[in-house]
Amino acid sequence: MWLLSTFFLAAVFSCGSAQDLQQTPISITRSEGKTVLINCHVSSSDFSNIFIHWYRKRANAAPERVAYMSSRIFLENQADEGKFSIEKDFSKSICTLTVSKITLQDSATYYCARWDAQQGYYNKVFGSGTKLIVSDKGSSPPANSEILQKKHENQIMYVCLIEKFYPEVIRVTWTDEEKEITENVVKGDAWQPTEEDEYSIATWLTVPADNKDKKYYCKYEHESQKNSLPSQVNSTKNAPQEGDCSAIFNRDVTFPDVTLPDHLMHRTAYLVYIILLLKSNMYYLIILFFIYRMRTPTKHQGKKV
């Protein structure tokens, strides 16, 4: 089951480009009995004729298709009639999934998808995903967000710290004044620094020291708020100088000559652990594959004898 869920999530990012299907919002937090709408923005010149599929991925469960639509809706399970409905806005190329009278069983991440033909092959392209959280606790925007910086030899490290938000679903990206930056970026998962339901997240960007005058942005998208933090501003709160950084990072453990608080160091160690775990699982699968290939001819030879 774990492998099936992992392969599905990998397919979301490998089978086609998720940029073709952008979902909004990234998460929805509602109490039981409410009705929610999930939008899928489709980049296609043939929007009126293509089939849009909707998948539900519950925690610790395999993904399942709940409905699909071209000119009319088809439910995967007729018992869901009245639960799911789909509409297309042809003027805006938006397909909307409506989940009515939600219950705790509806808590899941919902993906829109479509088939895409490239060079004679069909790939299923998945959307960016929308997580539905069924809870009486409402969403809350980050209580604090700031960019910290530290010069290390011939490099500058920017740390974007976003604190105390709910739910944990958040999308954080680094950009310059032209495009998104993906190189020399380390992204962490959201974590709970306290026993409360609020979450925090941090992401690192490393650039050459020669780019000290260039402006970078840490952009985040949360259910309750969107914001863009510049690396070069007059306010020392959003962009502390090198001396201020040591006052904020006042613990004994260092990471690339930057003294990090304990919770950031724990997240760094956690990321390393996850990477090593994924690598070990990949090696395990590769070994199993070769064992299978080695044993298969032996079985066939035994049948011939």
Is residue 8 within 8 A of residue 57, CB to CB? The reply is yes
Q: What distance in Å separates the CA atoms of residue 292 and residue 60, rounded to the nearest whole number?
A: 28
Q: What is the pLDDT of residue 228?
A: 93
| pLDDT tens digits for range 16-44 | 445 689 999 999 999 999 999 999 999 87
pLDDT value of residue 112: 96
DSSP assigned state of 18: G
Task: Judge whether residue 12 has pLDDT over 60.
Answer: no
Judge whether residue 75 has pLDDT over 60: yes
Whole-structure pTM value: 0.70
C-alpha closest to that of 233 among 148, 157, 304: 148
- Residue 178: pLDDT band with limits 50, 70, 90: confident
**C-alpha distance across the termini of the chain, in Å:** 38
Kindly tell me if the per-residue pLDDT of 96 is higher than 90: yes
**Tell me, what's the pLDDT at 299?**
46
264-273 residue pLDDT tens: 555 554 554 4
